[in-house]
Each structure stands twice: as structure tokens, then as C-alpha cells.
Amino acid sequence: MVSLTLVRGDITEEAVDAVVNAANSSLLGGGGVDGAIHRGGGPEILEQCRALRAERYVDGLPTGHAVATTAGRLPARWVVHTVGPVWSRTEDRSADLIACYRESLRVADELGARTVAFPAISTGIYGWPIDDGARIAVGTVSAAVTAVEEVRFVLFDEIAYAAFETSLRDARDR
Ligand code: ADP
């Protein structure tokens, strides 16, 4: 069973096999985690993203899908780019958010990764409420069938960290 841990901090500093990027479908960079990963990792990541766009994802990486590149100058070995859903008040898009965690773990398995760091996907620029985002993240990863041994959720601020702590406690009590 995969072991879940929580860290407060910047995901680009994690020395894990794979860090997951909350990317957008262009794969060409953005704000938040995406910006930090490209800034920290350097041009090597963007070059591979450009090649993926040209060869495999001409229309962009669809929401809920995941694809890997190397990690450039980051301490991790790989970056798994996934595209979270934009929060909607009128439409339930949680299946897409679940797919991001599942697909990222599937890609991590393909790479042979044993340690994976996730941000709280969709809870920044994409507006997903943090409590619900944390519940989906913890629930999906704990139920996943994977060879990954440790999943580290790396939370940028105190509110996100507290939301993940609560979700983890709820999952353990169940
Ligand atoms: P999205 O577009 O999927 O919402 P964001 O990158 O805007 O992605 O935000 C996702 C989450 O990651 C937010 O909770 C945000 O506070 C957090 N975040 C932003 N930068 C970092 C970072 N360097 N390391 C870890 N988490 C981060």
C-alpha cells in the first residue's frame, strides 16, 4: 500500500523520483506550480514539452491526462505533467480531478518511480475549493493500485496543509 505524507513547502525542492506538475493543456508553461517547475528545472523541460506538443498532443494535453518529461535541474528525476479541471459551480468535474491523480500514478509506474510528490492539483489558479481538492487527492491516491511506495503531498500554504491533514485523518478513521 502506498504511504502518504504531507510536507509544507515548494514542490520544486523535493528530491523524489517524480514531481507532478499542475500544468495547463498547452504544456508550454503557466503560473503557480507550472511556472515554478519551469523556472527551477530550466529549458530542458520546456524543450520536451514543445516536442510532445508537436508529436503527440497537437491540440494540447487533455484534462485528466498525464505525460512525463525529465526534470532538468530539479532534484527530482522526472516531471509528470497533468492538466487539472477548472472548478465549475454548475458542473461536477471531479472525475477529471480523480483522473489526474490516477493517470499521474500510472505514468509514474511506467517510469518505475517509487517516490512521487503531488501539489494540490486545480486548487490554485483553477479555483477548486481546497477542502474538496484535498479529499479527492487523498481518497484517490489511497485507493490506487500502484508500485509507488511513497506519495508526498507538497502544500504551499498553511490552509492547504490543514485541509490535507483533515482529509488524511478522515481517511484513516474510516
Ligand atoms: P492549478 O492551475 O491546477 O490550480 P496552481 O499551480 O495554480 O494549479 O495551484 C495548485 C496548488 O499548488 C495551489 O494550492 C497553489 O497554492 C500551490 N502551489 C503554487 N506554487 C507551488 C509550489 N511551488 N509548490 C507547491 N505548491 C504550489
Quickly list DSSP for the chain: --EEEEEES-GGG--SSEEEEEE-TT-S--SHHHHHHHHHH-HHHHHHHHHHHHHT-TT-PPTT-EEEEE-TTSSSSEEEEEEPPPP-SSS--HHHHHHHHHHHHHHHHHHT-SEEEE--TTSSTT---HHHHHHHHHHHHHH---S--EEEEEESSHHHHHHHHHHHHHHHH-
pLDDT at 119 over 80: yes
pLDDT at 79: 98
CATH code: domain of residue 82: 3.40.220.10
Confidence of residue 1 (pLDDT cuts 50, 70, 90): confident
pLDDT at 167: 98
Ligand 1: which of 156, 158, 159 to mutate, judged by most atoms within 8 Å of the beta carbon?
A: 156
Distance CA 65, CA 92 (A): 17
pLDDT at 174 over 80: no
Confidence of residue 156 (pLDDT cuts 50, 70, 90): very high
Confidence of residue 172 (pLDDT cuts 50, 70, 90): confident
Distance CA 160, CA 173 (A): 20
Distance CA 126, CA 146 (A): 27
Summarize the confidence of residues 48-52 as an average pLDDT.
98
Domain total for the chain? 1
Summarize the confidence of residues 37-43 as an average pLDDT.
97
State which residues form the domain around 134: 3-173
Summarize the confidence of residues 7-17 as an average pLDDT.
98
| Cβ neighbours around 131 below 10 Å, total | 16
Closest ligand 1 atom, CA of 32?
6
pLDDT per position as a tens digit, 129-142: 999 999 999 999 99
Confidence of residue 3 (pLDDT cuts 50, 70, 90): very high
- Give me the residues paired with residue 157 across strands: none
Q: In angstroms, what is the span from residue 117 Cα to ligand 1's centroid?
A: 12
pLDDT at 96 over 90: yes
Distance CA 48, CA 37 (A): 13
Instruction: Please tell me if the CB atom of residue 11 comes closer than 6 angstroms to any atom of ligand 1.
Output: yes
Confidence of residue 71 (pLDDT cuts 50, 70, 90): very high
Distance CA 72, CA 95 (A): 31
Instruction: Please tell me if the CB atom of residue 125 comes closer than 6 angstroms to any atom of ligand 1.
Output: yes
Closest ligand 1 atom, CA of 157?
16
Q: In angstroms, what is the span from residue 96 Cα to ligand 1's centroid?
A: 17
Active site residues: 34
pLDDT at 143 over 90: yes
Percent of the chain beyond pLDDT 90?
97
- What value does the mean pLDDT of the chain take? 97
Q: Which of 79, 73, 62, 75 is nearest to 119 (CA)?
A: 79
